[in-house]
C-alpha cells in the first residue's frame, strides 16, 4: 500500500490539464494502485492523478462498493441533470450544491490498455464528471452558480488548510447554465 499526500486547493497541478497516458506499463499500474489506496484511505468517492501530483489522465472511483479506474477517459453525458451536494478531497470538508448530468458513460482504458465502457447514474455519474474535470484542471467550485461560488471561495479562504487566494477557471464542459 502506498498512500500519497492529496494536493489541496491552491496547488498549481490542480489547475493544469493532465497529459494522456501513452505507456500502459508497470508504472501506470503502480499509479492506479496508489490512487486506489489513497482514495480508500481518505476515504473518498474518487481521486484523480493530479490530486496526488501526477499530471496524467487517470482516475479511480469507489461508489456504492464499486471500485475501479479509468485511463484517458471521455464522457458521454445525458441532458437530464441532477442537483446536489458535491465535495472534493482537495477542498476538504466544504461540500456545495452543484448541477451535473444525471447519467454518464465513461469510455477509456484499464491499466493494461484494454478498452472499457462504464455506465453510471446519480452518484457514479457525478463522480465520473468530477474526476474527469480534475483531469482538465477544473474544480467543482468552477461549476457553482455565482452566489454558491462566492460562498465556496469565502469558505476556502477561511479554511485552516487554505494556502492563498482562490482562482476560478472556466469549465470546458457543459455547466448546464450554472457557471458564469
Say whether 57 sits in a helix, a strand or coil: coil
Q: Please, where are the H alpha helices in the chain? A: 26-41, 123-135, 146-158
pLDDT score recorded for residue 32: 98
* Buried/exposed 63-90: b ≥16 CB within 10 Å, e otherwise: beeeebbbbbbebebeeeebeeebbbbb
- pLDDT above 70 for 175: no
pLDDT in the model for residue 160: 84
Mean pLDDT to the nearest integer, 152-166: 78
Which positions are catalytic? 131
Region 4-18: mean pLDDT is 95
- The pLDDT of residue 162: 73
pLDDT at 135 over 60: yes
What CATH code would you report for 12-158?
Answer: 3.90.45.10
Of the pLDDT bands very low, low, confident and very high (cuts 50, 70, 90), residue 170 is low
Among the residue ranges 18-22, 46-50, 92-96, the one predicted with the least confidence is 92-96
- Each residue's pLDDT tens digit, 64-117: 999 999 999 999 999 999 999 999 999 999 999 999 999 999 999 999 999 999
Q: Report helix, strand or coil for 65.
A: coil
Give the pLDDT score at 133.
98
Does the structure show a pLDDT above 60 at 128? yes
- Pair 69, 81: CB distance under 8 Å: no
* pLDDT, averaged across the chain: 91
Per-residue confidence (pLDDT) for residue 96, from 0 to 100: 95
pLDDT of 103 reads: 98
Residues 99-108: tens digit of each pLDDT:
999 999 999 9
Amino acid at each position: 500500500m502506498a498512500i500519497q499526500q492529496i494536493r489541496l486547493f491552491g496547488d498549481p497541478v490542480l489547475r493544469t490539464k493532465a497529459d494522456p497516458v501513452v505507456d500502459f506499463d508497470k508504472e501506470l499500474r503502480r499509479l492506479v494502485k496508489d490512487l486506489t489506496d489513497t482514495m480508500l484511505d481518505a476515504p473518498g468517492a474518487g481521486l484523480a492523478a493530479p490530486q496526488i501530483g501526477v499530471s496524467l489522465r487517470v482516475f479511480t472511483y469507489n461508489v456504492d462498493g464499486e471500485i475501479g479506474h479509468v485511463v484517458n477517459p471521455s464522457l458521454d453525458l445525458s441532458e437530464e441533470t441532477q442537483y446536489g451536494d458535491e465535495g472534493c478531497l482537495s477542498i476538504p470538508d466544504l461540500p456545495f450544491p452543484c448541477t451535473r448530468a444525471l447519467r454518464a458513460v465513461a469510455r477509456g482504458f484499464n491499466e493494461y490498455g484494454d478498452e472499457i465502457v462504464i455506465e453510471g447514474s446519480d452518484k457514479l455519474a457525478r463522480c465520473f464528471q468530477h474526476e474527469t474535470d480534475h483531469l482538465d484542471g477544473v474544480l467543482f467550485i468552477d461549476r457553482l452558480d455565482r452566489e454558491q461560488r462566492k460562498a465556496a471561495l469565502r469558505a476556502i479562504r477561511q479554511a485552516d488548510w487554505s494556502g492563498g487566494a482562490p482562482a476560478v477557471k472556466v469549465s470546458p464542459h457543459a455547466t448546464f447554465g450554472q457557471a458564469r
